[in-house]
Structure 1
Amino acid sequence: MIKESLPDRLLKGFFYLSIGLFSLYCLIPFWSVVASSFTSEASIVKNGYMFWPSDFSLDAYKMIFKDNTIYRAYGITTFVTVVGTILSMIFTSAMAYTLSVKSVKYRNHLAFYIYFTMLFHGGLVASYLLISKYLDMKDTIWVLIIPGMISAWNMFLLRNFFASIDDSIAESAKIDGANDVYILFRIILPISLPAMATIGLFYALGYWNKWFDAVLYINDKDLFPLQYLIQRIMNNLDYINQISADISIPNFIPPAMTVRLATTVVTIGPIVFLYPFLQKYFVKGLMVGAVKG
């Protein structure tokens, strides 16, 4: 075992200290949001944000969860996130692997066609007419999944990762009689877990935070995703604030700030728990020893 010198230990300690302070710097605002969301509106107005609830109150969460609408929106968003991420990863992986195989004819032409869509598109009007009129997906849950199922940027990231894998892995599998489908799902994807976890997280975050598509294509309140429902709640709160300011109701403080903080906790809470499960794939080197000797 090599003994570290004093300068190396000091440098490592400096790095640990810097990372710890930066993590604390990121954690303090989040904790302030969580603590303040459990505080009464009057206490927020009087004392501002705090690190511990001085006047504990659940009024903001009671307002958000006052009926079954929020639970239904949670179900819609969870379904869209899970199913959309799975479908996106399947189709993105298949397309990325196809473009990474050097023997595929016209793969550079296909790559340019996909890249062209990143630079030019038909615009909002054309997309709206295509999705709502010709594809007839308006007021369906699939309108939140299918139009954004494949991201060209994520596909190119995954293609570059697949292209970095040694060709001898696939060649040796083909010698043993494996086809491309077997190679992709049984060989390439298992040794690409770091890239798959990263791209999957990108897709999951995109589906979880999707709200603009609901504004355009969803009129059925039973299909409102969580983010769009939260936006409607915030708009209603702004209207209540305007009314209360005009009427000047004595001793009445609308729970505007606490509801905003509570909605932040409600919307980001579940997706934050994905990070501990996916973090190990960001640092694990699964390519080591993958090539046959």
Structure 2
Amino acid sequence: MASPASATLGRKPKNKESSVMDVSKPANLAINIFFWIYSAICVIPILLVLIVSFSDEKTVLANGYSFFPHKLSLSAYDFLLNDWVNIVRSYGISIFVTIIGTAASLLIMALFAYPISRRDFKQRGTFSFIMVFTILFNAGLVPFYMMYTQYLHLQNTLLVLIAPYLVQGFFVLVMRTFFMNSVPYELIESSKIDGAGEWRIFAQIVLPLSLPVLASVGLLCTLNYWNDWYLSMLFINDNIHINIQYRMYKALQDLQFLSSNSAAYSAILRTNPDYQLPSETVRMAMAVVGIGPIIFAYPFFQRYFIEGLTVGAVKG
């Protein structure tokens, strides 16, 4: 008969780490369930918008929004894509402005943020104050409009859709903080000893080490440029340099005009008695057309974006 001591010796000792993991399994399960529910709350409205955009206008008016439409229809997209040449041009303008604007913004803001992050830059306090001042105060709409139209003469150009968002004070301060906390000053000093100049240090050492903050700020700049329609409304008077968001806004205005103007709508009904103006479904179609391409930008930023959010949270 085996003694209790030998039985104890024969048993595998319980790993302390595994016991901790066993205790935390319910908590992990609860967290996973919470985030699955939260993700569903975020995704389901987008799915509903997509389904309603392909629904028939009459059934939507009769039965309301539904995940299971009684009848499918492309009338909303027919209304939007009636002038497909201008739609394609506006898409091209939005893509061009977003790519060039984001790249230029990151470069200019990084060039501003890096010097004021250096301890050996004597004027860092002055330039930091200037950037903070622009966050707290602005001149107002009239001087803003006059600057770009009467002094810079950028009205009806693509540059006017890029220039106002090139430097944003909050992003500059975020970059400055990252450079100060995550780029070791000793590494810069050793590079100077090895004969590297300031431009080489910035391009080959600082920027590669700063991919998380560049990706995080780049994603936010991309969303800012893509979703902007205000600058087109303010500075663009022709039909050539309009981005996709403002073109969707104009389409909504046209729709509201037709809905409120019975004479114009009656003229359409005389030629097509069965025509139903897609007032509800076209709003959903505009959201789909406007948000579509920008969804594919996030996967390219995702890895660095998460690193940028968690940087400094854990120190080795």
TM bracket, shorter-chain basis = over 0.9
CA distance in 2 between partners of 1:213 and 1:246 (Å): 30
Question: Which range moved further: 86-95 or 181-190?
Answer: 181-190
**Are 1:198 and 2:221 an aligned pair?**
no
Partner of 2:40: 24
Give the TM-score taking structure 1 as reference length. 0.93
- Percent of aligned positions with the same letter in both sequences? 36
Partner of 1:217: 235
CA distance in 2 between partners of 1:28 and 1:245 (Å): 39
User: What is the Cα deviation at residue 246 of structure 1?
Assistant: 9.4
Partner of 1:291: none
Partner of 2:296: 273
**Are 1:86 and 2:103 an aligned pair?**
yes
Greater C-alpha radius of gyration: 2
Partner of 2:278: 255
Structure 2 counterpart SS, 1:253: coil
Question: Which range moved further: 239-248 or 43-52?
Answer: 239-248
Q: Alpha-carbon deviations, 1:107-159, whole Å to 9, x = none?
A: 10111012111122221111111110011111111000112211011111111
Aligned mate of 1:178, from 191, 196, 204:
196
Pairwise CA RMSD of aligned residues?
Answer: 2.0
Uncovered stretches (5+) of structure 1, i.e. residues with no partner: 289-293
CA distance in 1 between partners of 2:21 and 2:144 (Å): 62
Contact 1:80–1:145 at 8 Å: present in 2 too? yes
User: What is the Cα deviation at residue 245 of structure 1?
Assistant: 9.2
Contact 1:191–1:287 at 8 Å: present in 2 too? no
**Are 1:282 and 2:310 an aligned pair?**
no
Uncovered stretches (5+) of structure 2, i.e. residues with no partner: 1-14
Partner of 1:64: 80
Contact 1:36–1:52 at 8 Å: present in 2 too? no
Q: Alpha-carbon deviations, 1:20-57, whole Å to 9, x = none?
A: 11101111111000011111111211121122343111
Structure 1 counterpart SS, 2:196: coil
Structure with greater contact order relative to length (CA < 8 Å, sep ≥ 6): 1
Contact 2:156–2:236 at 8 Å: present in 1 too? yes
CA distance in 2 between partners of 1:219 and 1:252 (Å): 32
The aligned runs of 1:1-293 (5 Å cut-off) are 2-3=17-18, 4-67=20-83, 68-165=85-182, 166-244=184-262, 252-284=275-307
Give the TM-score taking structure 2 as reference length. 0.86
Structure 2 counterpart SS, 1:139: coil
* Equivalent pairs, count: 288
